[in-house]
Amino acid sequence: MPRRNEAESSEFQERVVAINRVSKVVKGGKRFRFAVLVVVGDGASQVGTGIGKAKEIAEAVRKGIEKAKKNMVSVKHAGNTIPHPVVGEFGAARVLLKPCPEGTGVIAGGVVRAIMELGGVKDVVTKVTGRTSNAINVAHATLEAIKITRTEDEIMKLRGLAGNDGAEEAEGDSHGEN
């Protein structure tokens, strides 16, 4: 059984993005708890985020990794970048993701950079353009942007042009009008 856990953990990469220390004042002093934002990805196309809360950082990280693995999202690629510009929103956070030429690299802040790198995107330009830069909201906004991204094939299928180049479809429509 331990080997399965080792293999499972080796297939995904984990990155701790933010640690929040929360204190509660009680009669005997302060009690500290930690909330940890973790990004988990396979480095190819799957990525997820999770928040773990516990009295110790190690336990919070473990809980965050478990939640992140349950909330995985598929990242759509066009080569080493994303297929088209997209804006993701969550709460007051807005994240703009733009494709860019090969060799540009990941130009992003901490949270978005971790999500893009662990999702397998090598060339992308990003900007957080919301009223907040809260790491948790930015992570959720980035995942929303990834979810609404579509590949060229998906768009062609939605338009009913799958399987041909579009010229045949246009010719068929013009003959039907006569």
CATH code for position 126: 3.30.230.10
What's the rounded Cα separation, in Å, for the pair 24 and 168?
A: 68
pLDDT at 148: 95
Q: Which amino acid is at 26?
A: V
User: Looking at the whole model, is its pTM more than 0.85?
Assistant: no
Instruction: Tell me how many domains the chain contains.
Output: 2
Same domain (yes/no): 48, 18: yes
3-state helix, strand, coil in the chain (%, to 5): 35, 35, 30
Same domain (yes/no): 84, 149: yes
pLDDT at 173: 53
Same domain (yes/no): 96, 134: yes
What's the rounded Cα separation, in Å, for the pair 26 and 30?
A: 6
pLDDT at 11: 87
pLDDT at 3: 46
* Structural domain that includes position 128: 75-157
What's the rounded Cα separation, in Å, for the pair 72 and 56?
A: 25
Domain final residue pick, 73, 89, 119: 73
Beta carbons within 8 Å of 153's beta carbon, 6+ residues apart: 162
pLDDT at 102: 93
In the β-sheet with 13-26, what is the strand arrangement from edge to edge? 13-26, 29-41, 46-54, 72-74
Mean pLDDT by 10 residues, the chain (178 residues): 49 94 94 97 94 97 96 93 95 95 93 95 94 94 95 90 57 51
